[in-house]
Amino acid sequence: MTAGLRRRERGRLSNYGNRGETMGKNIVLLGPPGAGKGTQGQRLAEKLDEPHIASGDIFRQLRGQDTPLAQKVKGYMERGEYVPDDLTIRVVLERLSQPDARQGFILDGFPRTEPQAQALDNSGRSVDVALYINAPVDVLVERISRRYTCPKCHAIYEASRRSPKKEMTCDVCGAPLERRADDAPEVVRPRLQTYLDKTRPLVDYYERLGTLVEIDGAQTIEVVEREVDRALRLPAG
């Protein structure tokens, strides 16, 4: 086991490797902005043929819908209010009921609270592995302040780690890249600390269940990829 990967093997995580390669994997990605969980989520979605479900993307899609559930969510979003746990849980579980997620999923941005995590487990879609990709705050601030995002497909680029092939143009969809105003260092640092403080109970929850795997996201992308694959018992390459 490498220094960058920490596994607390108990119960379900110990048994996880014996479930068989044909079964789907229910994965939760935890980690602050800039740690690289979005990059790993997209990669794992292709490798496992499972949907990478980001809660932010779900809520953005709801803006264009006219269902009763979408109207409730939009009301909170338009007022700039936190969407309550019960409503967030309904939205995510509805997404997980769709055919592409029935054999497995990769959740990114959900759960954010322990009640959300408990609701997910109690729904019958319990988590096999919670991947916690973390990095020192100084590393995260530097990365975020140097990143660009695609407003169309939400791909993320960072100058020293993942640069677009064509300057300021998204490799995926060809849209012009943008730098978010709230990615400035003076804004990022307190936001990161708030995230880490709020996420600690969730990390502790999955650690108690024995499903938590912590990975050092300060390493190179290649090393992080190898450790993620090792944590999920996936073949190299």
Choose the catalytic residue: 10, 12, 191, 230.
191
Query: Which of the following is catalytic: 60, 63, 166, 180?
Result: 180
112 is catalytic: yes
Residue 18 has pLDDT above 60, yes or no: no
Average pLDDT of the residues in 14-19: 44
Q: What are the sequence ranges of the domains in the chain?
A: 5-231
Rounded average pLDDT over 161-169: 87
Per-residue confidence band for 8, with pLDDT thresholds at 50, 70 and 90: very low
- State the Cα angle at 39 between 118 and 129, rounded to 5°: 30
Tell me, yes or no, if 37 is annotated catalytic: yes
Please say if the pLDDT value at position 15 is more than 70. Answer: no
At which residue do the structure tokens 């709801």 appear?
Answer: 62
For the cut 80, the answer to whether the pLDDT of residue 3 exceeds it is no
The residue from 112, 161, 162, 230 that is catalytic is 112
In the predicted model, is pLDDT for residue 173 greater than 50? yes
Looking at the DSSP bridge assignments, the partners of residue 27 are: 106, 129
Class of 5-231 in CATH: alpha beta
Reference 30, options 215, 231, 191; nearest CA is 215
94-103, 132-141, 176-185: which range is least confident on average?
A: 176-185
Within the chain, strands assigned E span 5-7, 26-30, 52-54, 105-108, 129-134, 147-149, 156-158, 212-216
Catalytic annotation present for 191 = yes
pLDDT at 6: 56
pLDDT tens, position by position, 34-50: 899 988 999 999 999 99
pLDDT tens sequence across 91-128? 999 999 999 999 999 999 999 999 999 999 999 999 99
Which residue out of 37, 125, 143, 226 is catalytically annotated? 37
Distance of alpha carbon 221 from alpha carbon 231, whole angstroms: 15
Q: Say how many C-beta atoms besides its own lie within 10 A of residue 61's C-beta.
A: 12
Question: What pLDDT is stored for residue 223 in this prediction?
Answer: 95
Residue 180 is a catalytic residue: yes
Closest by CA to 26, choosing from 128, 143, 177, is: 128
166 included as an active-site residue: no
CB 76 within 8 A of CB 164: no
User: Quick one: tokens of 233?
Assistant: 């018992």
As a whole number, mean pLDDT of residues 166-191 equals 89
CA distance 142 to 145: 5
